[in-house]
């Protein structure tokens, strides 16, 4: 290990790093040297979580030049067996940065609960070194073979011009020809290996989770940022929305179990109205704030979902999203469809392959869609009722921002300010939109009168694409008995930095006109209907009177239904 760490690319002062590496089911502690240029950087990799690498201060997401394909073959290798249309965006991953900071990425895998991937950054380093060797060797070979072909040519010319025909040294000629032949063979072997390495590098890099932000707590403990309890209410235990909803004839689980299975439901009567009211309430709020409203398709190509960080199975082998069976005539010729688990997927894909002008960003959209989830979820309290279901309606916010400071900040355009201090001060454009999303989420929940708390989610709870995630949990009186804690997630907001845009090819022209940068993407729940509906039923239930009161803000869409009684 000592040996290769000495070969690490140098970009500044040497740093010492202690790492736990998982290999062959064993944890090895390894000491690694790093060469880092930023003097104030802490050595521990887990603190390097800004949008800029704290190790080498290299600009994550800065160089967004379209990548030249090495060959068409490695692309074919790097994708799954399903067909991709030729127009599908090609992922451009920052392999250079990973190879420069393997310890950082490895530690990130461990913190993000991707232990089986923690060796991959080191594999990437090894592969890039081998790639460099091969490139050098094949260059040498090319030079040599050029020289020898010159020699051969010269000999032939000599022979033709010479009067001593047949006097040529056949042995020399044969040796030259043989060496040219073997050089050609060697060269093609190098090319093959290079292609394989490119494919493997791409595969390994694509699987790595995004780096985590400076705000994200390490480990699996979330940090509570704030708690809101409506005036006059208390956090008390109460009846479950399942009992309330069935008694009020607003929910029907047993019919849905017959038609579809467990984890499905019918919303009936006032329940169905409440869903429409929640959608309208959220959409009208956001539309009024200037967000662009969209209805996206729910069926998307598998490679688009994968680019957004959604695989048919997650890193633990859990079935995450529904794949649709392909008609026989399309097998192998058309890309496979999956059902979108969230509108984030079709929204992110909406501008795949696009280059934005700086003035177009930030672009803020809000979508209403049906979401489909294959995962059964943890056994126990969550599996009952509306909390964890196979399909639901959701209003989702999604935004594209430049990777730098807010677009309208004067003078910010010339330099992409990616220093962690700028990000921490809230100057980055993606952070600004992120803050706006969380504020909107809180506003909607407050207007509905739901007690809630805002959590900065820890590394272990972040999805592959997120650099930062804030969840809001509402108080569910019905969840207190079974789980001991009445809080349950109702919204989530994530900054994905350039994770999705690198995979979908979404770029922005730099304001100084010099080249392109990767966009940052931000997503957040505006209204996850069944969970909010469940929270409303449990919080708005009057057990003594056996009635549910519809929140004031939803009444414009309830056609006169203010109270639902048993």
Partner 1 sequence: MGLQWCVSGTTLQTLKLASIPSLSPSRFAPPKTLTLDFFFLSRHARVRRPPFQVLARALSAPAMAFQTATPPEEKVAKPQWKAAIDFKWIRENKEAVAANIKNRNSIANLEAVLQLYDQMSNLQKEVERLRGERNVVANKMKGKLDPSERQRLIEEGKNLKEGLVTLEDDLLKLTDELQQEAQCIPNMTHPDVPIGGEDSSVIRKMVGNPPQFSFPVKDHLQLGKELDLFDFDAAAEVSGSKFYYLKNEAVMLEMALINWTLSEVMKKGFTPLTTPEIVRSSVVEKCGFQPRGANTQVYSIEDSDQCLIGTAEIPVGGIHMDSILSESLLPLKYAAFSHCFRTEAGAAGSATRGLYRVHQFSKVEMFIFCRPEESASYHEELIKIEEDLFASLGLHYKTLDMATGDLGAPASRKFDVEAWMPGLERFGEISSASNCTDYQSRRLGIRYRPSEPSSAIPKKGKGSLAPPKFVHTLNATACAVPRMIVCLLENNQQEDGSVIIPEPLRPFMGGLGSIAPKSG
Judged by the rule CB under 8 A, the positions of this chain that interact with partner 1 are 85, 87-88, 252, 255-256, 258-261, 264-269, 271-273, 275-276, 279-280, 283-284, 287, 292-301, 304, 322-325, 327-329, 334-335, 337, 339, 346, 349-353, 368, 370, 372, 390-391, 393, 557, 559
Torsion angle defined by CA atoms of residues 360, 364, 369 and 375, in that order, rounded to the nearest 10 degrees: 110
**Which of residues 12 and 353 has its CB atom nearest to partner 1 in the complex?**
353
**Which of residues 156 and 319 has its CB atom nearest to partner 1 in the complex?**
319
Cβ atoms of 265 and 242 within 8 Å: the answer is no
Burial of 150 (0-12, 13-18, 19+ CB in 10 A): exposed
**Which of residues 91 and 121 has its CB atom nearest to partner 1 in the complex?**
91
**Which of residues 33 and 264 has its CB atom nearest to partner 1 in the complex?**
264
Region of residue 411 (phi > 0: left; psi between -120 and 50: alpha; otherwise: beta) = left
**Which of residues 203 and 334 has its CB atom nearest to partner 1 in the complex?**
334
Instruction: Convert 332-342 to b/e letters by CB count within 10 Å (16 or more is b).
Output: eeebbbbbbbb
What is the closest distance, in whole angstroms, from the C-beta atom of residue 413 to partner 1 in the complex? Answer: 22
Helices (H), 28-119: 72-78, 95-100, 102-111
Cβ atoms of 74 and 198 within 8 Å: the answer is yes
What is the closest distance, in whole angstroms, from the C-beta atom of residue 247 to partner 1 in the complex? Answer: 16
**Which of residues 186 and 391 has its CB atom nearest to partner 1 in the complex?**
391
Cβ atoms of 536 and 474 within 8 Å: the answer is no
What is the closest distance, in whole angstroms, from the C-beta atom of residue 323 to partner 1 in the complex? Answer: 4
Q: Would the CA dihedral through 270, 272, 275, 277 be positive or negative?
A: negative
Of 121, 103, 85, the residue nearest 32 (C-alpha): 103
What is the closest distance, in whole angstroms, from the C-beta atom of residue 259 to partner 1 in the complex? Answer: 4
**Which of residues 296 and 540 has its CB atom nearest to partner 1 in the complex?**
296
The residues, ordered by sequence, that sit 6+ positions from 216 with a Cβ below 8 Å of its Cβ are 49, 456, 457, 458, 459, 462, 467, 468, 469
What is the closest distance, in whole angstroms, from the C-beta atom of residue 428 to partner 1 in the complex? Answer: 26
**E-strand spans in 355-443?**
355-356, 363-372, 391-401
What is the closest distance, in whole angstroms, from the C-beta atom of residue 92 to partner 1 in the complex? Answer: 17
What is the closest distance, in whole angstroms, from the C-beta atom of residue 303 to partner 1 in the complex? Answer: 10
What is the closest distance, in whole angstroms, from the C-beta atom of residue 335 to partner 1 in the complex? Answer: 8
**Which of residues 346 and 402 has its CB atom nearest to partner 1 in the complex?**
346
How far is 521 from 348, CA to CA, in rounded Å? 8
Q: Tokens 């998982």 belong to which residue? A: 22
Pairing status of strand 547-549 against strand 468-475? unpaired
**Which of residues 275 and 436 has its CB atom nearest to partner 1 in the complex?**
275
Of 305, 323, 303, the residue nearest 81 (C-alpha): 303
Q: Supply 97's token pair.
A: 């940065």
**Which of residues 9 and 269 has its CB atom nearest to partner 1 in the complex?**
269
Residue-by-residue DSSP string for 373-385: ------SSGGGST
**Which of residues 33 and 322 has its CB atom nearest to partner 1 in the complex?**
322
What is the closest distance, in whole angstroms, from the C-beta atom of residue 381 to partner 1 in the complex? Answer: 22
What is the closest distance, in whole angstroms, from the C-beta atom of residue 540 to partner 1 in the complex? Answer: 19
Helix (H, G, I), strand (E, B) or coil at 289: coil
**Which of residues 71 and 292 has its CB atom nearest to partner 1 in the complex?**
292
The residues, ordered by sequence, that sit 6+ positions from 103 with a Cβ below 8 Å of its Cβ are 17, 19, 32, 34, 45, 121
C-alpha gyration radius of the chain: 29
Q: Supply 204's token pair.
A: 């390994």
What is the closest distance, in whole angstroms, from the C-beta atom of residue 313 to partner 1 in the complex? Answer: 11
What is the closest distance, in whole angstroms, from the C-beta atom of residue 276 to partner 1 in the complex? Answer: 6
What is the closest distance, in whole angstroms, from the C-beta atom of residue 362 to partner 1 in the complex? Answer: 17
Tell me how far CA of residue 255 lies from CA of 78, 267, 389, 444, in angstroms. 44, 11, 15, 32
**Which of residues 372 and 475 has its CB atom nearest to partner 1 in the complex?**
372
Of 377, 409, 397, the residue nearest 488 (C-alpha): 377
């Amino acid at each position: 290990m000592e040996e290769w760490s000495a070969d690490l690319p140098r970009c500044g002062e040497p740093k010492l790093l202690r790492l736990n590496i998982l290999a062959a089911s064993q944890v090895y502690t390894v000491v690694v040297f790093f060469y880092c240029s930023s003097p104030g950087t802490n050595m521990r990799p887990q603190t390097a979580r800004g949008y800029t690498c704290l190790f080498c201060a290299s600009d994550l997401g800065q160089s967004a030049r379209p990548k030249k394909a090495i060959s068409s073959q490695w692309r074919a290798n790097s994708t799954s067996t399903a067909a991709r249309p030729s127009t599908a965006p090609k992922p451009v991953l920052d392999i250079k940065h990973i190879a420069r900071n393997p310890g950082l990425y490895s530690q990130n895998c461990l913190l993000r609960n991707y232990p089986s991937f923690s060796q991959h950054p080191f594999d990437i380093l090894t592969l890039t070194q081998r790639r460099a060797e091969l490139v050098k060797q094949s260059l040498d070979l090319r030079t040599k073979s050029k020289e020898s072909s010159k020699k051969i040519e010269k000999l032939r010319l000599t022979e033709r011009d010479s009067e001593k025909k047949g006097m040529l040294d056949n042995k020399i000629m044969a040796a030259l020809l043989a060496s040219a032949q073997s050089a050609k063979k060697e060269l093609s072997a190098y090319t093959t290996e290079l292609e394989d390495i490119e494919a493997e590098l791409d595969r390994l890099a694509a699987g790595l989770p995004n780096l985590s932000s400076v705000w994200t707590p390490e480990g699996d403990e979330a940090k509570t940022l704030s708690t809101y309890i409506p005036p006059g209410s208390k956090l008390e235990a109460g009846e479950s929305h399942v009992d309330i909803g069935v008694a009020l004839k607003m929910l029907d689980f047993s019919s849905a179990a017959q038609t579809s299975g467990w984890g499905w439901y019918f919303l009936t009567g006032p329940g169905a109205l409440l869903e429409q009211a929640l959608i309208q309430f959220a959409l009208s709020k956001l539309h009024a704030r200037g967000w662009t409203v969209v209805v996206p398709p729910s069926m998307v190509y598998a490679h688009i979902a994968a680019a957004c960080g959604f695989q048919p199975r997650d890193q633990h082998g859990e079935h995450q999203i529904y794949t649709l069976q392909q008609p026989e005539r399309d097998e192998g010729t058309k890309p496979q469809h999956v059902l979108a688990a969230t509108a984030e997927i079709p929204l992110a894909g909406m501008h795949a392959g696009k280059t934005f002008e700086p003035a177009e960003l930030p672009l803020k959209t809000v979508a209403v869609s049906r979401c489909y989830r294959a995962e059964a979820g943890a056994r126990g309290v969550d599996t009952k009722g509306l909390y964890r279901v196979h399909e639901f309606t959701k209003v989702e916010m999604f935004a594209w921002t430049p990777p730098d400071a807010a677009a309208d900040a004067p003078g910010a355009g010339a330099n992409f300010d990616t220093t962690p201090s700028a990000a921490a001060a809230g100057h980055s454009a993606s952070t600004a939109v992120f803050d706006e999303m969380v504020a909107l989420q809180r506003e909607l929940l407050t207007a509905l009168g739901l007690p809630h708390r805002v959590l900065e989610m820890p590394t272990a709870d972040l999805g592959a694409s997120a650099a930062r995630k804030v969840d809001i949990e509402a108080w569910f009186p019905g969840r207190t008995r079974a789980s001991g804690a009445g809080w349950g997630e109702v919204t989530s907001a994530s900054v994905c930095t350039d994770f999705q845009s690198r995979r979908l090819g979404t770029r922005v022209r730099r304001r100084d006109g010099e080249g392109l940068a990767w966009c940052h993407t931000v997503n957040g729940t505006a209204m996850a209907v069944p969970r909010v509906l469940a929270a409303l039923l449990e919080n708005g239930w009057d057990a003594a009177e056996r009635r549910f009161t519809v929140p004031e803000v939803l009444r414009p869409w309830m056609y006169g239904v203010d109270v639902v009684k048993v």
